[in-house]
Amino acid sequence: MKMVQILQTSTLFAGTTADEIASLLQCLEGRTDDYERDWAIIKEGDHTDELGIVLTGRVHITRHDFWGNRSLVADVAVGESFAEALACTALPSEVSVVTAERSTILFLNVHKIVASCQKCCLYHHTLIENMVRLLSQKNLELMKKIDHLTKRSTRDKLLSYLNSESRRQQNRTFTIPFDRQQLADYLCVERSAMSTELSRMQADGLVEYRRREFTLHHEEF
């Protein structure tokens, strides 16, 4: 798929035509870069003024504590973006951004997005409004993640996550972007305990699964 087509599905460029996007990209001086799998695009402590939009592949937002425990904060798929908030502040990053597959990323300087731009393009104001919408959306997504973590038991965390994923993909049968270890890191539970709980849930008829493909049987939440 061509870059412009992907961008039209993104929140940042929502409601703009292909021509307008082309014009905006020039104005914003965007750049693209390719990465192998497991490459750290941003490391903890880094700073950047650019947000990233995934054109191909997939990236994960991760964190490590002092004892080396990994936690997986978020999954970013094609057309989605990362580091918007980081790029809008002067602070160092508290998270890493790592490719989960070989990926192509478009980088855009947020200051060029937000700054008023008299000369170049008429569509710039749409872009600023989209930037506000994008940040709001991320905000609500983080809320949703907090919602999963708020659940006290492993089962409730799993149900909360699986239901939100089912709703997002608008299907009771869906594929998750994580393997078991990554899912455990995402929900902040222990992998083997989580596997055990998944088995119990399947035995209880709540869910069926095979590898990354899940089918929810009861509508919960």
Which residues form the interface with its own copies (CB under 8 A)? 63, 65-66, 69, 71, 73, 84-86, 88-89, 91, 94-95, 110, 114, 116, 125, 128-129, 131-133, 135-140, 142-147, 149-152, 188, 221
**Site mask for DNA (CB under 7 A), range 143-182, x = bound:** ---------xxxx-----------------------xxx-
C-alpha span between 195 and 201 (Å, rounded):
10
Cβ contacts of residue 84 below 8 Å, gap of 6+? 51, 110, 131, 134, 135, 138
70 binds DNA (CB under 7 A): no
For its own copies, which is the closer residue by CB, 136 or 192? 136
20 binds DNA (CB under 7 A): no
Residue 42 binding target from DNA, its own copies, none, CB below 5 to 8 Å by type: none
197 binds DNA (CB under 7 A): yes
C-alpha span between 208 and 214 (Å, rounded):
6
Tokens, residue 100: 């989960």
Cα dihedral value 94, 99, 103, 104, nearest 10: 10
Give CA 33 to chain center in angstroms: 18
